[in-house]
Amino acid sequence: MGLFRALASLLVLHLLQGSNASLVQLNGNGYEDIIIAIDPAVPEDGEIIEQIKAMVTTASNYLFEATEKRFFFKNVSVLIPDTWEGKPQYRRPRYESYTQADVIVAPPTLQGKDEPYTRQFTECGEKAEYIHFTPDFVRGKKQDEYGPLGRLFVHEWAHLRWGVFDEYNEDEPFYSAKSKKIEATRCSTGISGTNSVYTCQGGSCVTKRCRIDSATKLYEKDCQFFPDKVQIEKASIMFMQSIDSVVEFCNEKNHNREAPSLQNLKCNYRSTWEVISNSEDFKSTTPMVAPPPPPAFSLLRISERIVCLVLDKSGSMGAEERLKRMNQAAKHFLLHTVENGSWVGMVQFDSRPNINSELIQVRSNSERDTLVKSLPTQAGGGTIICEGLRSAFQVIRSKDFQLDGSEIVLLTDGEDNTVGNCKNEVKESGAIIHFIALGPSADKAVNEMQNTTGGKYFYASDKAENNGLIDAFAALTSENADPRQKSLQLESKGLTLNSDAWMNGTVVIDSTVGKDTFFLITWNKQPPSISLWAPNGTLTEPFTLDSNSRMAFLTIPGNAQVGTWTYSLQAKEISETLTITVTSRAANSAVPPIMVNAKMNKDTNSFPSPMIVYAEVKQGFVPILGANVTAIIESKSGNTKVLDLLDNGAGADLFKDDGVYSRYFIDFSENGRYSLKVQAHGGTNSARQSLQHPLNRAAYIPGWVVNGDIQGNPPRPETEDTQGILENFSRTASGGAFMVSGFPSTSFTDPYPPSQITDLDAVPEGEEITLTWTAPGENFDVGKVQRYIIRISGNMIDLRDNFEDALQVNTTDLLPKEANSKEAFTFKPGNIPEENATHIFIAIQSVDQSNLTSEVSNIAQVALFIPQADPSPDESHPNPSPNKNYNSGVNISILVLSVVGSVIVVSIILSTTICILKKKNSSGRPRTGF
């Protein structure tokens, strides 16, 4: 059978899921292998470790009760940076790494803003990325504003593990309820409190009633909901777990579907407990009888990196110039990627292994050059992978290092039916194995690989111009190194020159990088002429030429000039293939560099199921908005697809302007392995830092109502929307590999419907309502749909569950636009058939040319009344009369249009018999129809 088939459950935990995948497992009812990592930027403080222990212990008991005695925290590893002093109780990590952390204790995203949050950009019910706590939060200094640590941890854990969302909405803190009152967005509505304006100045605080905004007919911006300190309501943890009585999640019975909460929008109006109950965790467990044991903690301190290259030099490596390409990529890794202080060794294998280099600690270019000279020089022989791995174990143990936490980079292009002979050794070694599959045979050999330990997985085809092999090695930076020490890839580009001898281009070096900048040029036949100009126009020194490996390289001394570097490569042969790779490190250890991380939403896929590409662009923890981000996806045969990623909050993108750029990928061409590479560019007129509060953050408690009086907390720091425009930058990152199966060998009918509309919105236009949304495509978010179906109902759940039975709006004149364009449709609604309806609910479905329909969109709500403000003893700002006619002379009702994500007021004439519709034509005149 194929290579590694016998290692299906042996190699590296979550190998296919990539290095940023959580290692958490549910064993019985207890969560194991939770990693809480302390960022290298956090100064040493033993109190943080003790507070982490106390937080998790308290959280475990709270989680157990909140989940009806079903889940608890069993064991946790605390990852301590190497910037902290070593202690006897600290052990070396095994497979735990910073990039796999479930919780990160790090400085605030923005100075002075200590809010806890969960990085969450996948769909409802899917696991999130990580939880971010600040040192001051962990020390307990923010409990007044965010509540007890253990309870807050459970709130964030529900985001992380089960993919639920908050039951509050700071953009929409109030809404018009069926009770005809203005209610605070919350779950459940049984949580009591006061809506007030509370201001303090000079030690004196004043409480005022909330005034109604004349446009929205909801409370003005300075109004806040202050919960009563003493409550009896038990739900919900996803609203405000800091209330003493709250010990449950909202369920189907007490869930507030009216509220414009993120949970309603993202989870189709399902309660948090419904989502949790549908999770694999829930389905695989039953409630416990006895109380759970306290969590066990392991303290792990990062130590020096140990890496051994295990390189295939069998006869098949002589085909397609694979050996030379492997050496080019390995030299790049040895000369630039691997960090100073690392221990590096090398093993080659064919029919038998050979130790090319014992472990050498890299301190300077001298050690790097020594390792480069150890690379294989000639291909030949068979493929015995086990012996190569055993030799790597020997190399590591020879320096009295433990295999636990050591890394092995295994590259092969072939198959080995004896690989099962070492399965137990690999499984028990504790080593982290990164696997690089080269060529189509290796692709077949690993198609049944399963998750087993924590390394990275890459695939590179034989198409040299795609530069996949160099990209794979460039991505093998330390999982535990400070990002300011890592090698970052700025450029990766290749070209086969047939009619033109020149490959010209530019590379941007921004001010956050520039240290150890490394230019690498490769060719296939003859060395090209190479010219490289700095931003000031100076021609650089000649490149170092390595004719045997067909590569040339240059390191810029010191910090490279900021700006645009220009290169010109002239081929000397016809049909020459040239590549250029540029890497660099942070210019200033105090300034985090701009980075891009890329991944697919899953690692194995069965056609025709769609996949999603994610690329996160950030500086430190601050999202970068407005970048141009492109995904390059290569199949096993080298077929390449290019996909522009978007941060528009539509289609596959969950949140607009969160620095995560997403897109559906459905353009499969064959079965087998695919690789992902992402390129991000920021221009002087686009990219900018986001200074907004992070999404999915814990609810800030403005204060409590105690005996009728408000006891306020310090005000939350103000935020701005964005900072100034960033300078130009460019980044490239590998997103690893994924597998596709089930692709048909014959033609097939269109399997893809339009994507769901998730950003349905509305604005007032006199007596009409204008709906706006982002256009979906013929195939998810590509192309143009055939038509739209808009329906209205007086019952939200009926509209959601029985969309086809709801009253349909005439959309004959609505001509769809290309995917990702902004759509608008204006109509004048009439009465709905439901009696006693207090709201009109509106939703959209799109239909493609194959008559495939999308999922029903998010639901817009229209309230058929003027909401009443809360009574208040403060009469300084009396509420408008609920019976006041705001448009005298016209018989009207006020409709408050409450779309999840916005609240809008429109005035309309209600018809008692028909629904009149209008769509403006190009001349601006309305068209009417039924």
Per DSSP, the three-state class of 847 is strand
Q: Hey, what's the torsion of the CAs at 161, 163, 169, 172, to 10 degrees?
A: 170
Name the nearest CA neighbour of 208 among 727, 900, 875, 899.
875
- Output the CA angle 369-371-372, nearest 5 degrees: 65
Name residue 734's amino acid: S
Q: CA–CA separation, 30 vs 70, rounded Å?
A: 9
Measured CA distances, 735 to 8, 220, 452, 692, 752 (Å): 22, 45, 19, 27, 25
Q: What residues does 764 pair with on adjacent strands?
A: 769
Measured CA to CA in angstroms, residue 903 lies from 262, 552, 757, 769, 861 at distances of 14, 60, 18, 12, 9
**Long-range Cβ contact pairs of 316-322 (< 8 A, separation 24 or more):** 316/379, 316/383, 316/413, 316/414, 316/439, 316/441, 317/379, 317/413, 317/414, 318/379, 318/380, 319/439, 320/439, 320/462, 321/464, 321/524, 322/379, 322/413, 322/438, 322/439, 322/462
Q: Which of 161, 160, 78, 147 is nearest to 115 (CA)?
A: 147
Cis link prior to 608 (omega < 30° from 0)? yes
Phi, psi dihedral angles at 441 (to 5 degrees): -70, -40
Written as six digits, the tokens of 353 are 């292994």
Residue with tokens 């507070």: 51
Angle between helix axes 46-66 and 149-162 (nearest 10 degrees) is: 70
The number of angstroms, rounded, from the C-alpha of 560 to the middle of its chain's C-alpha atoms is 31
Contacts of 775 by beta carbon, 8 Å cutoff, 6+ apart = 784, 785, 816, 817, 818, 819, 820, 821, 822, 823
Measured between alpha carbons, how far is 407 from 480 in angstroms, rounded to an integer? 12
Alpha helical stretches, state H, 773-912: 796-801
Q: Residue 74: which H helix or E strand, with range?
A: none
Closest CA to 410 of 473, 480, 482: 473
Q: Is 310 helix (H, G, I), strand (E, B) or coil?
A: strand
- DSSP H or E run through 870: none
Compute the 3-state secondary structure of the chain and give helix, strand, coil in percent, each to the nearest 5: 15, 35, 50
Total residue length of the chain: 930
Residue 334 per-residue DSSP state: I
Largest CA distance in the chain: 95
The number of angstroms, rounded, from the C-alpha of 778 to the middle of its chain's C-alpha atoms is: 26
When computed from its CA atoms, the radius of gyration of the chain, rounded to whole angstroms, is 30
Helix runs in 253-363, H state only: 262-266, 272-277, 280-283, 322-332
| Nearest Cα to Cα of residue 558 among 618, 518, 514 | 514
Q: Examine the residue annotation and report whether 115 is marked as an active-site residue of this protein.
A: no
Beta bridge partners of 618: 595, 623
User: Residue 929 is inside which H or E element, if any?
Assistant: strand 926-929
- Name the strand (E) or helix (H) holding 299: strand 296-301
> Rounded to whole angstroms, how far apart are CA atoms 415 and 407?
22
Catalytic residue among 96, 115, 156, 415: 156
Task: Report which of 596, 338, 366 is spatially closest to residue 481, judged by C-alpha positions.
Answer: 338
Contact by Cβ (8 Å): 789, 811: yes
Q: Are 100 and 20 in contact (CB under 8 A)?
A: yes
What is the token pair recorded at 304? 């020096």
Nearest Cα to Cα of residue 904 among 181, 176, 196: 176
Question: What are the residue numbers of the active site?
Answer: 156
